[in-house]
Amino acid sequence: MKANFFANMKISRKLVAVFLATSVIAMCVNIFIYLNLNQALEKINTVFSSNISFNELSDSLNKTHQGLTGFLETKGTDDFELYYASSLDVKNISRSLNSNVADNSIKLSERDIRNMLDTYLKTADEAVTAKRGRKIDEYTAKYEECTRIKDYLNTYIYSVNNEQFRTNSETYMALVNSLRYTEIMSMLIFAVASVMNVLLIVILTSTITRPLTRLSAKADEISQGSPENVEPLEVYSDDEVGKVTRAFNEMLASIKDYIARIRTQLITQSEMKEKNLLMETHLKDAQLKYLQSQINPHFLFNTLNAGAQLAMMEGADRTVEYIRNMADFFRYNVKKSSETVKLSEEIELVDSYMYILNVRYAGEMLFEKDIDESLLNVMVPSMIIQPLVENSIKYGIKDLEPGEGKVTLSVYREDKMCCIRVSDNGIGTDEEIIEKIMNHEKKPSETRGVGITNVMSRLDLYYNNKEVFEMKSRKNEGTHVTIKIPLEDTNV
Amino acid sequence: MKVSKVKVSRNRLAVSILAGIVLVLFCVTVAGLIYYRGMIKRLGEVQEEAHAEYSRLYAYIADDPDSQLSNRIYKEIVDYAKENDCYVEMTGQNLSTSYSKADRLNIAICSKVDGIILEADSSVETAELINKANDAGIPVVTVLSDCSESQRKSFVGLNNYDLGSEYGNELAKIREEKRAYPLKALILLDKDEGNSDDMIFSGLNEALKGRNIVLTSSGVDTSTPFTSEEDVMNILDQLDKQGQIPDVIICPNDRISESVYQCIVDKNLVGKTRILAYYDSETILKAIEKGSVYATFAIEANIVAKQCVNALNEYNNTGLVSEYFTSKYIMISKSNISSYKPEVDKDEG
């Protein structure tokens, strides 16, 4: 829970937390050591306090005696005040001295000093009282006693002070030595705490930098190619790095998706290219077959033009008409063989073709048209009607009696389709053959001229295998071939 | 994927190890701080020396604070007193000034001790101070030498008259050994008045009656630590010049005993004269072993110490105490020194 809380913190806060944690630890250790060291130093400072106290006692005692001497000499108020104030100091200081019997020379001397001070003050008081009573002998004796005791006291204080100083010096040295150990100890604690802080910083900052390292490693992986094989990163935190990681994962997913789409597109494109190539192949094939079956159309076209001009000079109008039609027919072939053309142009070609045939067969072929003129501008692949008409004549009505055979071309609209139907009243086509043709089993070589199969294949390619070609027939009732061109595809 | 999982687990392991180290270091820091705190606390404890407290304080005032005998007795007194919840201080010891016995007695009175053990003398000043202490409610017990004119509560002494007799007996033995008729003996007495030497001298004189022994006496100044040796040397030089080195020299004092022994050795008189010494100091005991000193008379210091402390305690408890406590001398010669020595080692050591 705590780890999650830390993981979800912002990086700036994390860094502040790390800094604060280590600083607080260092500060606490510092304060602790400082306070204790201070305490130790205070203890060292008190070592010589007993010496100071003894010096004060000696000073106060001498002042008391000075005051006493002065008072006994002159009975002066100042002297008495000095005596009184100093004796109070002596009393106060003596209270802090040991009063018990102990087997310690200093303690014992303190007790002796305390009791001697008591005796001194008592004797001094008696001397003062005797002075007030003007008992010269008594206060003189008491004063002498006081002087003696003062000398004893000074000797004792001096000796104890010396002894105390020696002991205190030893204690001081012991304390100073101990202080050195404490210094070493504090240095060790500092060192350990510092190492701990450094490790703490390493751990905490690594929790911040580790996700970044992982992120950069993933980025490297992606940059080396094949991002589709790169797995998304696990997100452990909700900080900035966590957000970046999440965004990175989303970007990775997007890249993968994009690559997949591009791949599909490429496949589609290559399929389309393949289709186009195939179409061109078929068209070329049709053209080749056409050219094989025909004399060079240019040469023929020029020849025909020369023939037309000759006929015109001779005044043979029908010949002129005939030759022009032939010229149109071949021109069309030369010009439009590789384009989409208007339906009207296709119809004109059929007209020319039929005229030529009727001249050839002396008007035996009947040709009817039923055209919806709104559809004349519909764009269709070239050379799709003439081959059908040719087929109808060649395999349908060719063998009928002259004047009986009839080919009908209808163009009409049906369910958003432009329907082009070529029908004849010929002998009809066997169902077997129709099936073969529809299943593309009949080879182009088995047909003569630009065959129906070629038309079908091209329509299939052009209209993307949509069922646009229909062929129906009954024995001796003719054949109906219908091309249904979807009106939305006509502009393709 | 596998590699990254292995990496993650490795990272976690590293972080766990680091966290463990941090935990250990944290514990070490806390333990260090606790130990540190203890160290600082212990610093203060160095100042206070261990000491025991007692209910009563007695003062021991020796005639000569540097005397080995007095120090031996003091040591025994302190040991015994401690067993009886008392402490005894050698007043005037460890001070920057050397005070006279009277001053030390005065100090003891001013510092209101619970009792005084005093190596007294028969001077008036001492008697007055004993009386002053008595007036201040401090009982005084005299030891080794008495101040019978004072208001001292009790005297813990040795029978010095008997000691004189014992010296006489030893002189008689030496006379027989040396077959010297008459035997010439010299007794070196402390010049200070009122000490125990007079009693010894009386006892000795009495013991020599009819024993064909000629006894002469000389006074030695023992007032300072250095004079006795000089005096003894002067006396011996004089006698040597006169060709009258005595057969036996009697030293009824510990310091004189050691001075005489040293002078005899220095003057190469060992064998020519015999020494009857006083007190069982290490030097004297060694001299007995070597045969340089004929015999010495030692005090049973522990018994004397017990009697002193018991006398004061008894007086403080009941207000009454016996006026006299006596103790015997022990004679130590080459014949019995082996049985005595271990005790000496313990004391001196």
Distance CA B9, CA B83 (A): 75
Average confidence (pLDDT) over A108-136: 91
Instruction: Pull the structure tokens for residue B331.
Output: 């004679």
Better-predicted residue by pLDDT, A291 or A369:
A369
CATH code, domain with A448: 3.30.565.10
Q: For position B67, what pLDDT does the model report?
A: 82
Q: Is A278 part of any domain?
A: no
Q: For position A337, what pLDDT does the model report?
A: 58
Q: Which of A101, A155, A171 sits opposite B57 (nearest CB)?
A: A101
β partners of residue A410? A370, A421
Edge to edge, the sheet with strand B329-333 lists B213-220, B183-190, B248-250, B274-278, B295-299, B329-333
Measure Cα distances from A451 to A167, A473, B346 in Å. 136, 17, 150
Q: Which of A152, A178, A192 sits opposite B25 (nearest CB)?
A: A192
Q: For position A292, what pLDDT does the model report?
A: 56
Confidence of residue B122 (pLDDT cuts 50, 70, 90): confident
Q: For position A455, what pLDDT does the model report?
A: 83
Boundary (domain end) residue, out of A190, A214, A238? A214
Better-predicted residue by pLDDT, A117 or A461:
A117
Better-predicted residue by pLDDT, A375 or B5:
A375
**Number of domains, chain A:** 2
Measure Cα distances from A104 to A65, A331, B87 in Å. 29, 148, 10
Closest residue on chain A to B55 (Cα): A101
Measure Cα distances from A86 to A57, A236, B232 in Å. 10, 81, 53
Average confidence (pLDDT) over A323-331: 80
Q: For position B116, what pLDDT does the model report?
A: 94
The per-residue pLDDT of chain A, averaged, comes to 83
Q: Which of A39, A104, A119 sits opposite B110 (nearest CB)?
A: A119
Q: For position A492, what pLDDT does the model report?
A: 40
Interface test with A, best of B12, B13, B96 (most A CBs within 10 A): B96
- pLDDT above 50: residue B343: no
Would you tell me which residues 126-165 of chain A have a C-beta closer than 8 angstroms to some C-beta of chain B? Answer: 148-149, 152, 155-156, 158-159, 162-163
CB contact A305 to B (< 8 Å): no
Q: For position A442, what pLDDT does the model report?
A: 57
Do A115 and B15 count as a contact with CB atoms less than 8 A apart? no
Distance CA A36, CA B109 (A): 47
Distance CA A49, CA A173 (A): 15
**Under DSSP, is residue B187 helix (H, G, I), strand (E, B) or coil?**
strand
Q: How crowded is the C-beta side of A302, counted as CA atoms within 13 Å?
A: 4
Q: Is A46 part of any domain?
A: yes
Confidence of residue A59 (pLDDT cuts 50, 70, 90): very high
Which residues of chain A make contact with B49, given a CB cutoff of 8 A? 104, 167
Distance CA B179, CA B200 (A): 25
Interface test with A, best of B4, B75, B110 (most A CBs within 10 A): B110
Q: Is A14 part of any domain?
A: yes
- pLDDT above 60: residue A449: no
Boundary (domain end) residue, out of A214, A238, A263? A214
Q: Is A131 part of any domain?
A: yes
Q: Is A224 part of any domain?
A: no
Q: Is A424 part of any domain?
A: yes
Q: Is A290 part of any domain?
A: no
- pLDDT above 80: residue A95: yes
Q: For position A334, what pLDDT does the model report?
A: 67
In 10 A of CB A125, how many CB atoms? 15
Distance from CA of A73 to the nearest CA of B (A): 25
Lowest mean pLDDT among A301-305, B110-114, B182-186, B251-255: A301-305
Better-predicted residue by pLDDT, A372 or A459:
A372
| B27-67 pLDDT tens trace | 888 888 888 788 777 766 655 667 889 999 999 999 888 88
CB contact A171 to B (< 8 Å): yes
Alpha helices in chain B (DSSP H): 2-45, 68-83, 101-110, 124-135, 160-178, 197-208, 227-242, 254-266, 282-290, 301-318, 337-348
- pLDDT above 80: residue B10: no
Instruction: Quickly tell me which residue has 């032939």 as its tokens.
Output: A326
Q: Which of B40, B96, B110 sits opposite A39 (nearest CB)?
A: B40
Q: Label residue B124 exposed, middle or buried (CB < 10 Å: 0-12, 13-18, 19+).
A: exposed
Q: For position B89, what pLDDT does the model report?
A: 92
| B80-119 pLDDT tens trace | 999 999 999 999 888 888 888 999 999 999 999 999 999 9
Average confidence (pLDDT) over A162-179: 82
Instruction: Pull the structure tokens for residue B322.
Output: 């016996």
CB contact A179 to B (< 8 Å): yes
Nearest to residue A457, comparing CAs of A275, A271, A270?
A275
Average confidence (pLDDT) over A457-480: 81
Instruction: Quickly tell me which residue has 């021991």 as its tokens.
Output: B60
Boundary (domain end) residue, out of A185, A214, A243? A214
Better-predicted residue by pLDDT, A316 or A335:
A316
DSSP conformation class of B277: E
| B254-293 pLDDT tens trace | 888 989 999 999 988 888 899 999 888 888 888 998 888 9
**Under DSSP, is residue A75 helix (H, G, I), strand (E, B) or coil?**
coil
Domains of chain B, with CATH numbers? 56-159+301-328 (3.40.50.2300), 160-299 (3.40.50.2300)
Instruction: Pull the structure tokens for residue A309.
Output: 């001009």
β partners of residue A414? A417
C-beta of residue A425 within 8 angstroms of C-beta of residue A397: yes
Q: Are residues A208 and A342 in the same domain?
A: no
Do B111 and A116 count as a contact with CB atoms less than 8 A apart? yes
Is the N-terminal amide bond of B65 cis, ω within 30° of 0?
A: no
Which residues of chain A make contact with B5, given a CB cutoff of 8 A? none
Lowest mean pLDDT among A127-136, B173-182, B260-269: B173-182
Q: How crowded is the C-beta side of A352, counted as CA atoms within 13 Å?
A: 20
Instruction: Pull the structure tokens for residue A389.
Output: 């008409």
Q: For position B193, what pLDDT does the model report?
A: 64
Tell me which long-range contacts A206-214 makes (C-beta under 8 A, separation of at least 24).
Answer: A206/B11, A206/B15, A207/A6, A207/A7, A207/A14, A207/B15, A208/A11, A208/A14, A208/A15, A208/A241, A210/B11, A211/A236, A211/A237, A211/A241, A211/A242, A211/A245, A212/A241, A214/B4
Distance CA A87, CA A85 (A): 6
Q: How crowded is the C-beta side of B41, counted as CA atoms within 13 Å?
A: 6
- pLDDT above 80: residue A182: no
CB contact A222 to B (< 8 Å): no
In 10 A of CB B319, how many CB atoms? 9
C-beta of residue B301 within 8 angstroms of C-beta of residue B72: yes
C-beta of residue B275 within 8 angstroms of C-beta of residue B249: yes
Quote the pTM value. Answer: 0.57
Average confidence (pLDDT) over A442-469: 69
Interface test with B, best of A109, A196, A210, A220 (most B CBs within 10 A): A196
Which residues of chain A make contact with B47, given a CB cutoff of 8 A? 43, 47, 171, 175
- pLDDT above 90: residue A409: yes
Which residues of chain B make contact with A192, given a CB cutoff of 8 A? 25, 28-29, 32
Instruction: Quickly tell me which residue has 């406590």 as its tokens.
Output: B325
Better-predicted residue by pLDDT, A298 or B156:
B156
Which residues of chain A make contact with B44, given a CB cutoff of 8 A? 43
- pLDDT above 60: residue A295: no
Q: What is the CA radius of gyration of chain A?
A: 67
Distance CA B94, CA B66 (A): 12
C-beta of residue A390 within 8 angstroms of C-beta of residue A353: yes
Q: Which of A167, A196, A203 sits opposite B29 (nearest CB)?
A: A196
Edge to edge, the sheet with strand A417-424 lists A366-371, A406-414, A417-424, A479-486, A469-473
Q: Provide the domain limits for residue A107.
A: 2-214
Which residues of chain A make contact with B99, given a CB cutoff of 8 A? 152, 155
CATH code, domain with A143: 1.20.120.1730
| B139-151 pLDDT tens trace | 999 998 888 888 9
| A266-277 pLDDT tens trace | 999 999 898 888
Q: CA-based diameter of chain A, in Å? A: 200
Interface test with A, best of B36, B100, B135, B312 (most A CBs within 10 A): B36
Which residues of chain A make contact with B82, given a CB cutoff of 8 A? 103
Q: For position B298, what pLDDT does the model report?
A: 87
Confidence of residue B346 (pLDDT cuts 50, 70, 90): very low
| A203-240 pLDDT tens trace | 878 877 888 888 888 888 888 877 777 888 888 777 88
Q: For position A149, what pLDDT does the model report?
A: 93
Average confidence (pLDDT) over A42-67: 87
Nearest to residue A103, comparing CAs of B138, B106, B309, B75?
B75
Do A179 and B43 count as a contact with CB atoms less than 8 A apart? yes
ipTM over 0.90: no
Q: Is A231 part of any domain?
A: no
